[in-house]
Amino acid sequence: MNVFVLGGTGFIGTALARVLIKRGHRLTGLVRSEASAKKLRSIGGQPLVGDIARPASWIEQLPPIDAIVHLAFDLDADMGTVDGRLLDAMLRRFAGQRPRPRFITTGGCWLFGTGGNEVATEAAPFSPLPAFAWMVPHAWRILSSRAVKGVVIHPAMVYTADGGVFSRFAADARAGAAIRIVGSEAVRWPLVHRDDLAELYALALDMAPPGSSYIGAAIEALEVGRIARAFARRFGRPNQTPQIVSADQIAGELGEWARGYARDQRLSGAKARAELGWRPAHLDPEGEIAALPA
Ligand SMILES: NC(=O)c1ccc[n+]([C@@H]2O[C@H](COP(=O)([O-])OP(=O)(O)OC[C@H]3O[C@@H](n4cnc5c(N)ncnc54)[C@H](OP(=O)(O)O)[C@@H]3O)[C@@H](O)[C@H]2O)c1
């Protein structure tokens, strides 16, 4: 398949690009810098220079495409507007193409609310973090478009042993500082390793029915206190207590989006397992943290 990836040099996108190349797909990736172009080439992809904020400057240069995966994103306040114009341009570009390309776009766990002990599925009503509320109508637009075969993947909190949503814990632990967590130790995060998530995107490319959504959660929920304590143990401070910061404090430091860290959630990846045969391999984040090199 000829796959066009937006965001193929990001945290999730890099893992996806590797999986797509390994599975024999041809990959074109949008890149906005020479550094990203080099990174994509080193994985085996073909860069197309361009910015998601200016689709008119690159969209006609796209080679023939069978599928699109959208993982390009930044935390600027106008991201919703930029993404809306990007979707306008993309859906115009692919209108009339036959067969229709598959278009996988990305939502996220922070579009779902906090449900106490209930485990949310794809059928749960959205209750997005205000900073990401624009994603809900955009996802719906892709799902209902007649120009593409739309699919939405909602990743849980994405990690590697010391990267992604664990990178702040790892940095605090390596610096010998108290590990900071937002809200309380009891806040639960649904989790997925980025390599497992990349496999889910690849499976969805092959077989997700148009109009379908999947939650990419390998682990329904893990208390952040357990993650913080695993880092403290690994870096020689087994008795260290995590430092609790409030959602207001973290929002003041990083931006309103960071309130998501305090969301207590349980999410199910059962639909992806049942319908796509997704088999996440990483199910023991605490074990992976314990095995980190010093
Ligand atoms: N990470 C998580 O835990 C998580 C959880 C749920 C949902 N998600 C969603 O997953 C998506 C990707 O997340 P991520 O963690 O992989 O993000 P990331 O590491 O920040 O990667 C973002 C990607 O978008 C590209 N990009 C950003 N602005 C661009 C622009 N103006 N023009 C062209 N490319 C641009 C970046 O390119 P450069 O290489 O040039 O920077 C990079 O490849 C986001 O939609 C995010 O909301 C993530």
What's the distance, CA 23 to chain centroid? 20
Q: Is the CB of 216 under 6 A from ligand 1?
A: no
Per-domain residue ranges of the chain:
2-157+190-218+265-276, 160-187+221-264+283-290
Answering whether pTM is above 0.85, one says yes
| Topology of the domain covering 2-157+190-218+265-276 | Rossmann fold (3.40.50)
User: Cα–Cα distances in Å, from 206 out to 12, 74, 130?
Assistant: 18, 27, 33
Name 143's Cβ contacts closer than 8 Å, sequence gap at least 6.
150, 151, 152, 211, 212, 213
Q: Ligand 1 pocket test: which of 71, 110, 126, 263 has the largest number of ligand atoms within 8 Å of its C-beta? A: 71
The reply to whether ligand 1 has any atom less than 6 angstroms from the CB of 105 is no
pLDDT at position 75, please? 85
Using one digit for the tens of pLDDT, what is the confidence trace for 199-241?
Answer: 999 999 999 999 999 999 999 999 999 999 999 999 999 999 9
Measured CA angle at 146 (ends 140, 148), to 5 deg:
80
pLDDT score of 98 more than 90: yes
Q: CA geometry: angle at 80 spanning 126 and 38, to 5°?
A: 115
Amino acid symbol at 24: G
Q: Where are the alpha helices (DSSP H) in 95-166?
A: 135-144
* d(CA 12, ligand 1 centre) in Å: 7
Nearest Cα residue to 6 out of 42, 44, 58, 76: 58
How would you label 268-278 residue by residue, b for 16+ Cβ within 10 Å and e otherwise? bbebbeeebeb
> pLDDT band for position 294 (50/70/90)?
confident
What is the 8-class DSSP label of residue 126? B
d(CA 268, ligand 1 centre) in Å? 23
